[in-house]
Amino acid sequence: MPKDSKPIHSTSPSGESFPIPRKDDYRKEFERIKHLAEQARKEKKEIVVVMGVGFVGAVMAAIIADARDEKGDHSKFVIGCQRPSVRSYWKIPLLNRGQSPVKAEDPQVDPLISRCVLDSKTLTATYNSDCLSLADCVVVDVQCDFSKEDLGCMTTGQADMAALEATMRTIGQKIPADCLVLIETTVAPGTTEFVAWPILKKAFDRRGIESVPLLAHSFERVMPGKDYVASIRDFWRVCSGCTPEARDRVVAFLREVLNTKDYPLTVMDRPIESETTKIVENSYRATILAFLNEWSLFAERNGVDLIKVIEAIKVRPTHSNIIFPGPGIGGYCLPKDGGLGYWAYRHILGFEDGDHFFKITPAAIDINDTRALHVAELVRDALRNMGRYIAAAEVLLCGASYRQDVGDTRYSGSELVVRKLTEMGAEMRVHDPYVEHWYEFEKQDVYPAPGRSWARFFRSQDDLVNLRIGKDLPEALKGAEAVILAVPHREYLDLDPGKVVEWAGGPLAVVDCFGILSDDHIRRYFELGCEVKALGRGHIQRIKEEIRKRR
């Protein structure tokens, strides 16, 4: 609890400032929550506390709060609990107004949260973790990070479980003995049984509770994007418990809150199996993406359009999930989850021989983490072919997020493109229709944590704190000497080359990172005096020759 001095504030992404609660506020806040919980209990609702209302927890909390029993009555009262830190406190007052703390492209998110908070009143949020004493079930959605020490070297990274361990300690101190604790956080395999369970057991011992804590694991497969809510509620889940009783409780809970009728549950014997499922499925995805990096370079150098190769392969049902990697693989999960598995093998499970057989997962993550650097080489080469230099060139990057049509910038390949080109002396500007603030730059001193920004891997990064996202494409293009189409956002899919050149004020270098340009558009750019380069698209050279001959 903060000492009673000057109020400290927490500021939301839209710039609204909220004073962080003082010591005196805690008791009144608990009375508020207790009163609401007692009321809900009278209505036969179960009390569920969701720890951590970030990307996953905020929407999961609302889905639970929206659940109804066979009679059609709301069956749960949900308390979203969040640390009152400077960085995160603002999420609580926002939620309590019925507003989503996460910006989502899914039109269901805002009405879902507002409905649960304001209409059914089955969802509230608090900073006071004493609410845990009221819980029948606690869902843990705090982060568990994997922080890399070196660029392109996953094996020197470390899991950062501080938030998760702190949360488990608080839970152990406060929950009733028969409360179910469900860890949804993606964790290093072994965490539920060998880290979290002992923390709970020790806390129970200290409190003189003789029963064994009821602990379960069921990971999230959420995709923040246009199907955000469905990716949690209408999707297959895997779960397991530390004891048969915990397993039965988690199965019953998930059946009550998720659409398990259409998307049946898979129940595993032990949490380490459910934890490993998540790590392996994400390592698999990271691997099939990384695998195409070498063929992308092969294609560029030998007149092959990898985009067409992939389309030709995808018609085989057995190969339909082959996917072009773009400028690296961002998002919160794919860059880190394999690292959690590799790390756990040594640091939780106690084996020393991981480097003898963990070959593919580390290589895949390292390839994905550095693929974006090649984009900077393409920009350099395209400008050179136009008789220009990268140093002091005005370069526009289109697309800051890690995938199309979302505003999530976590670990996006675009960040590395901006950093590398800045190091090479380019003047960078950015356009993205979905991203308001690119905190990886604006707050690079403290985001994702002090000293953890990718800025540390490059020189001359200081001025990037001033990088702002443009929303008006013609304006952003004005005077640009190069444009990088980094993400296939809808707005970039069918840009007219004539307009792009007109807005830029003359021919420019065009670099396509995601197979966005059609052959006709590539041809048109050359006709207009532009230079075109692209990841994995060696046939561009052929189109260039064709135009040159025609001239």
Ligand X SMILES: NC(=O)c1ccc[n+]([C@@H]2O[C@H](COP(=O)([O-])OP(=O)(O)OC[C@H]3O[C@@H](n4cnc5c(N)ncnc54)[C@H](O)[C@@H]3O)[C@@H](O)[C@H]2O)c1
**# binding residues, ligand X (CB under 6 A):** 26
Least gap, CB of 527 to ligand X (angstroms): 42
- Considering the complex, state which of residue 332 and residue 503 has its C-beta at the smaller distance from ligand X: 332
Q: Residue 99: how many CB atoms within 10 A of its CB?
A: 16
Angle (deg, nearest 10), helices 271-301 and 306-314: 130
Binding ligand X by CB under 6 A: which of 49, 63, 134, 142? 142
Instruction: Give the contact letters, 10-49, x = binds to ligand X (CB under 6 A), - = no.
Output: ----------------------------------------
Q: Would you say 220 or 440 has its CB closer to ligand X?
A: 220
Least distance in angstroms from the C-beta of 103 to ligand X? 12
Residues 478-537 that bind ligand X (CB under 6 A): none
Which stretch, 135-143, 150-158, 391-399, 517-525, contacts ligand X (CB under 6 A)?
Answer: 135-143
Reduce the DSSP state of residue 199 to 3 states and report it.
Answer: helix
The answer to whether the beta carbons of residues 7 and 89 sit under 8 Å apart is no
* Identity of the residue, 188 or 299, whose beta carbon is nearer to ligand X in the bound complex: 188
- Stretch of 15-23, 76-84, 428-436, 482-490 lying at the interface with ligand X (CB under 6 A): 76-84
Rounded CA-CA distance 404/98 in Å is 28
Nearer to ligand X, 91 or 489 (CB): 91
Binding of ligand X at residue 52 (CB under 6 A)? Answer: yes
Q: Binding ligand X by CB under 6 A: which of 143, 240, 277, 422?
A: 143
51 binds ligand X (CB under 6 A): yes
C-beta of 281 vs 427, nearer to ligand X: 281
CA 515, CA 540: separation in Å to the nearest integer? 11
Q: Which residues contact 404 (CB under 8 A, 6 or more apart)?
A: 487, 488, 489, 490, 514
In the complex with ligand X, the residue whose CB is nearer, 104 or 517, is 104
The interface mask with ligand X, positions 221-260, x = CB under 6 A, is -x-x------------------------------------
Question: Under DSSP, is residue 140 helix (H, G, I), strand (E, B) or coil?
Answer: strand
Nearer to ligand X, 265 or 386 (CB): 265
Residue 196 makes contact with ligand X by CB under 6 A: no
79 binds ligand X (CB under 6 A): no
Contact 482, 501 (CB under 8 A): no
* 296 C-beta neighbours (distance < 10 Å), count: 23
Q: Does 332 bind ligand X (CB under 6 A)?
A: yes
Q: Judged by CB, which is closer to ligand X: 221, or 478?
A: 221
Residue 75 or 185: the one with the smaller Cβ distance to ligand X is: 185
Told to check if 141 binds ligand X by CB under 6 A, we report: yes
Contact 17, 11 (CB under 8 A): yes
Residues in a beta bridge with 514: none
- Compute the Cα dihedral for 385, 389, 390, 394 and give only its sign: negative
Q: Are 477 and 503 in contact (CB under 8 A)?
A: yes
**Residue for token digits 């028969």?**
178
Is residue 300 near ligand X by the rule CB under 6 A? Answer: no
- Min dist. Cβ of residue 91 to ligand X (A): 6
Is 403 within 8 Å of 487 (Cβ atoms)? Answer: yes
Cα four-point dihedral sign 399, 449, 95, 20: negative
User: Which residue(s) pair with 9 in the sheet?
Assistant: 19
CB of 521 to ligand X, least distance (A): 32
Enumerate residues 6+ apart whose C-beta is below 8 A from 366: 152, 153, 154
Residues 6+ apart with CB under 8 A from 47: 37, 40, 41, 76, 77, 79, 134, 135, 136, 137
Q: Which two tokens stand for residue 518?
A: 């059609």
**Candidate ranges 1-9, 140-148, 284-292, 438-446; the one touching ligand X (CB under 6 A):** 140-148
335 upstream amide cis, omega within 30 of 0: no
User: Residue 369 Cβ, how far from ligand X at the closest point, in Å?
Assistant: 17
CA atoms of 436 and 434, how far apart (whole Å): 7
How far apart are CB 136 and ligand X at their closest, in Å?
A: 18
Residue 403 makes contact with ligand X by CB under 6 A: no
Tokens standing for residue 481: 């000497």
By CB under 6 A, the residues from 155 to 194 that bind ligand X are: 163, 166-167, 185-186
Q: In this structure, what DSSP letter does residue 200 have?
A: H
DSSP for 247-298 reads HHHHHHHHHHHS-TTTS--EE-SSHHHHHHHHHHHHHHHHHHHHHHHHHHHH
CB of 78 to ligand X, least distance (A): 14
Binding mask 81-100 for ligand X (x = CB under 6 A): xxx----x--x---------
55 vs 525, beta carbon nearer ligand X? 55
Quick check: 455 and 480 in contact, CB under 8 A?
Answer: no
The stretch among 24-32, 54-62, 300-308, 357-365 that binds ligand X (CB under 6 A) is: 54-62
What is the separation, in whole angstroms, between the first and last Cα of the chain?
74
CA atoms within 13 A on the CB side of 91: 28
The residue number whose beta carbon is nearest to ligand X equals 54
Name residue 32's amino acid: R
Region of 40-48, 139-147, 352-360, 496-504 interacting with ligand X (CB under 6 A): 139-147
**Interaction between residue 56 and ligand X (CB under 6 A):** yes
By C-beta, is 446 or 493 nearer to ligand X? 446
By the rule CB under 6 A, 411 interacts with ligand X: no
Question: Which is closer to ligand X, CB of 51 or CB of 348?
Answer: 51
Contact 53, 91 (CB under 8 A): yes
Tell me which of 54, 93, 111, 479 binds ligand X, using CB under 6 A: 54
Which residues contact ligand X (rule: CB under 6 A)? 51-57, 81-83, 88, 91, 141-144, 163, 166-167, 185-186, 220, 222, 224, 332-333
